Structure 1
């Protein structure tokens, strides 16, 4: 798939791109948003299932956290080969197959009977879901020039807070089906939130196109405008200071490791928000029902959506990335400090709001930057590698925070851990090898 943009494009005025760019965004972003909603829903619904599943399966917090850790172990192991497969066979076929597979795997989680079966089923979901996010991030580079990509990333990635907020309310209602037709509430959760991925996966085969040249919904002039803009960006891209001799040598450079470490620090908070928010809210609102906890857990996500869209648009208009990445990371770190016990439930919820908004906003900006330091040949593998390094944080956080919760009977130590990493990540982000300002879009 990646070689499609290397083909010569008809000569067109670069200034004619915005109109066709809006058409591309209208066609791709809403559908990819829907796909990501389903992906993230099947990833985080275990957090809401845990409100009742932990007691039914007699799981400790450590065992519950380990289930998510093993999901990410499988996710990390399969992310790079999955992205290479997508680059070879195309987004349409590969993403469609992934969605069908993870939808079936997530639905099958309703058959878990104890910790071992839960571990195996969550690993299966991790294997099948591994290639989706890095694959779509690669796919977006084939349709949106970097000067427009922060807003595209933000519009796509608000699926994460949207899903977390939407599923907070939805999952609380689904848990209320406990006992219907002999199924537990958490079993209904996996059934009703897993099968839609299978149905949308079938639609992918007829909806997505692997490259602009295959898009029959663009006329020849529009295709030319889009390809000309992408080719002009590629031709004018800054070359590495030291040209690597191979793709492998390029991926082993310190700058790629630095991107991965910054993402690792960021992902710890993303995992904390995704997995533990329902139980965090319950910790300072213990008298609330599952439905009330679900509604409260949705509040941070609403704040997050607003900040992601506004900040992504501002980053594109100012053509600045570094401080648009660092400042939200610092905001998230401050949020975890506010969430510490002692300030009252309202202040703790405010802290969780800031942690969620800052971390998700930073993520949408972060993914506009790695391709600045990757050649076209190394882009598919490089994005997957950075994603894999970062998601070591997704694997570590649930297990470590679960263990700390069992040890201390609270989330205080977990908040301090996540906040400290956000500070470290923000400081390291200042050293990322980002190019100067582009012309504002």
Structure 2
């Protein structure tokens, strides 16, 4: 589901340099705005959608999200101009709202904290692999120019939109809302898993009783985590939406001409190492206990590396530096998402995860729009990429500040911190 979700979300980046911008007469700023407006609709309904999932259950709600976004994704096949592109991107955000935080919440309701880091890592592998597999796939679909009388980029939108509807329908029959409903578990396994999760939930709520959703909005840690996540998302989507366009520029730089499939394969290069690094980095955190540097160091590396890509001097070296940035971003993200559900439970967890994702995804709107607008203003990608570096360095700094604050609280009240022991106790201190 996440694979298809991210592919549909970023498909516009593949269409842009392969005929869409020319056919629709889009400037870089218009393309950036249309790419980013997705997140406005997404943000408006993110928290209500996640609370609805908490109320109605993941099976129905996640399936509903997938089917509705699939319908909108298919409609991109017939987009006619900047206005209709912007409207559809907004509606795609509305349709997708709640999927990612809903999936994070769903996994927290199924997986005890001692195993959550590695499970989130496996879930997050879908994102870099979307580009590894999806970029060449998009290239192959774009090459089908003339199929059904459509331009190649329109065929691509049709091809990546239909699977969301199919998998959404399948999810209605496959997903189960809780371990007790899982027919593939024995009774003993159901009881062990249910008891483990209930004990963790009780421990998180101990001394506070029922934790309402409004707790998440009053938590300073939730707001701090939102800003940290903003930096990662800003970097992620600056790459996702503009890397295909940057690769298009390699042709002028090198004097070579790349085919559509070749461009897709070049786009995929940074993401395969990113998937490998993410796997081993998350496994290290899982085995040795999550530390603040598991999140801060990748943010620092990403913040420094992305501006350096501007001075690489050759397409190959540029891709190598961008690969370092992609590795850094994806190394941090699954470890980051183990934090909120360590100190939030129930409705507060649903609201908190959605709030962090909502505010963080403001970076998803800001990155493509600001990158495109500043590019049009300055005539290059130098200033936009320095902005990416700034926001990622800010995330690194705030992660260190948050960890030190948590350690201070732990020393005063005996609360666990992000740098404590095993993964099951690795968290920003609750309260």
Tell me if the contact between 2:270 and 2:322 (Cα under 8 Å) persists in the aligned partners.
yes
Structure 2 residue aligned with 1:379: 349
Q: CA deviation at 1:120?
A: 0.7
Matched, 1:416 2:405: no
Structure 1 residue aligned with 2:40: 73
What does the per-residue CA deviation read over 1:92-123, in whole Å, with 9 as the maximum and x for residues that have no partner?
11111111110110010111110000011111
Structure 1 residue aligned with 2:62: 95
Structure 2 residue aligned with 1:397: 367
Matched, 1:437 2:403: no
Structure 2 residue aligned with 1:148: 115
Structure 2 residue aligned with 1:40: 6
| Aligned mates of 1:95, 1:149 — CA distance in 2 | 20
Per the normalisation by structure 2, the TM-score is 0.90
The one of 251, 256, 269 equivalent to 2:217 is 251
Tell me if the contact between 2:226 and 2:360 (Cα under 8 Å) persists in the aligned partners.
yes
Structure 2 residue aligned with 1:275: 241
The one of 360, 363, 367 equivalent to 2:330 is 360
Structure 2 residue aligned with 1:331: 301
RMSD of aligned alpha carbons: 1.9
Structure 2 residue aligned with 1:21: none
**Off by >6 Å, runs of 4+ in structure 1:** 242-245
What does the per-residue CA deviation read over 1:338-376, in whole Å, with 9 as the maximum and x for residues that have no partner?
311353222211111011111122111110001223243
Structure 2 residue aligned with 1:135: 102
Written as runs of structure 1 = structure 2, the 5 A alignment for 1:152-171 is 152-171=119-138
Aligned length: 406
SS at 1:343's partner residue? coil
Query: Compared with structure 1, are the counterparts of its residues 285 and 351 closer, same or farther at alpha carbon in structure 2 (3 Å cutoff)?
Result: farther
Query: Compared with structure 1, are the counterparts of its residues 341 and 96 closer, same or farther at alpha carbon in structure 2 (3 Å cutoff)?
Result: same
| Aligned mates of 2:275, 2:375 — CA distance in 1 | 29
| Aligned mates of 2:285, 2:71 — CA distance in 1 | 38
| Aligned mates of 2:88, 2:354 — CA distance in 1 | 23
SS at 1:339's partner residue? helix
Q: CA deviation at 1:430?
A: 1.1
| Aligned mates of 2:381, 2:328 — CA distance in 1 | 19
Gaps of 5+ in 1: 1-34
Gaps of 5+ in 2: 407-416, 425-431
| Aligned mates of 1:334, 1:238 — CA distance in 2 | 40
Structure 1 residue aligned with 2:276: 306
| Aligned mates of 1:174, 1:38 — CA distance in 2 | 15
| Aligned mates of 2:216, 2:72 — CA distance in 1 | 36
Tell me if the contact between 1:65 and 1:402 (Cα under 8 Å) persists in the aligned partners.
yes
Query: Compared with structure 1, are the counterparts of its residues 407 and 245 closer, same or farther at alpha carbon in structure 2 (3 Å cutoff)?
Result: same
Q: CA deviation at 1:257?
A: 0.9
Query: Compared with structure 1, are the counterparts of its residues 282 and 358 closer, same or farther at alpha carbon in structure 2 (3 Å cutoff)?
Result: same
Written as runs of structure 1 = structure 2, the 5 A alignment for 1:185-334 is 185-237=152-204, 247-286=213-252, 287-334=257-304
Query: Compared with structure 1, are the counterparts of its residues 364 and 356 closer, same or farther at alpha carbon in structure 2 (3 Å cutoff)?
Result: same
